[in-house]
Amino acid sequence: MNSLPPEIVVVGGSAGSVSVIIQLLEQLPQDFPFALVLVIHRQKSVPSEMDKVLGFSSNIEVIEPNDKDFVRANRIYLAPQNYHLLIEQDRTFSLDYSEAIYYSRPAIDPAFESAADVYGSRAMGILLSGANQDGSQGLAYLVQQGGRAIVQEPQSCEFPAMPLAGLQVVPQAEVAKPAELINRLFSL
């Protein structure tokens, strides 16, 4: 296991994940030392105010980054609707309008992968409830690059398919119930 705290935490979730994320944000202290990136499957082209919904649960504003915005610690970022979210070596966001993955854009796999490419062992990936297999390949890659993987305990999920797929590919991932996630973020 890594001995240094994460610089970036990427949380991927689909069906059944929003309530877990809200719980996490409500418990998040004001001075957390990493960039928190939320990648949530959302219905395409339907106007979404997810940033406001999530921001309401947090003391900190939830930002939908523009292309080439800097990734900063102590910020909460939400992958914008209809774009995949990637991170460049100079620690800026790149957005990408390419094909949906598992019918989703944003998809979780590319976000995990590019966070792993940039942050290596200082990246953490968290995979939450969902009804498909997005995220598991990316989580495997993140672990391969030295990062840390946490998967929501399948029994605690409204839709366990996504965490189960994650655990199948990354059996060594830590398993956590929603209430435990906050402590995992700060435990080494």
Partner 1 sequence: MNDGIDILPHEIDEIIQVIREQYGYDFIDYSRASFTRRVKHCMQRAGLKTMYELRYHLINEASFFAWFLQTLTVNVTEMFRDPVFYRQLRETVIPRLASYPIIKIWHAGCATGEEVYSMAILLKEAGLLDRTRIYATDINPANLEKARKGIIPLNAMKEYTANYTRSGGTEDFSSYYEAHPDHVVIRPELLQKVVFSQHNLVTDQMFNEFQLICCRNVLIYFNKNLQNRVLRLLYDSLVPLGYLALGMKESLLFMDIQAEFESINESSKIFRRKH
Residues binding partner 1 (CB under 8 A)? 45, 47, 64-69, 80, 82-84, 86-89, 92, 94-99, 101, 109-110, 113-114, 117, 137-138, 140-141
Q: Which of 14, 58, 104, 129 is catalytic?
A: 14
Q: Which is nearer to partner 1, 7 or 109 (CB)?
A: 109
Kindly provide the residue ranges of all beta strands, DSSP E only, lying in 4-147, ordered along the sequence.
8-13, 35-40, 62-63, 75-78, 84-87, 93-96, 123-127
Q: Which is nearer to partner 1, 87 or 181 (CB)?
A: 87
Q: Which of 109, 114, 129, 134 is catalytic?
A: 134
Assess whether 94 carries a catalytic annotation: no
Tracing tokens 């993955």 back to the chain, one arrives at 101
- What are the residues facing 85 on neighbouring strands? 95
How many whole angstroms from its chain centre is CA 30?
19
* Beta-sheet pairing, 8-13 with 35-40: parallel
Closest CB 129 distance from partner 1, rounded Å = 22
Which of the residues are catalytic?
14, 41, 134
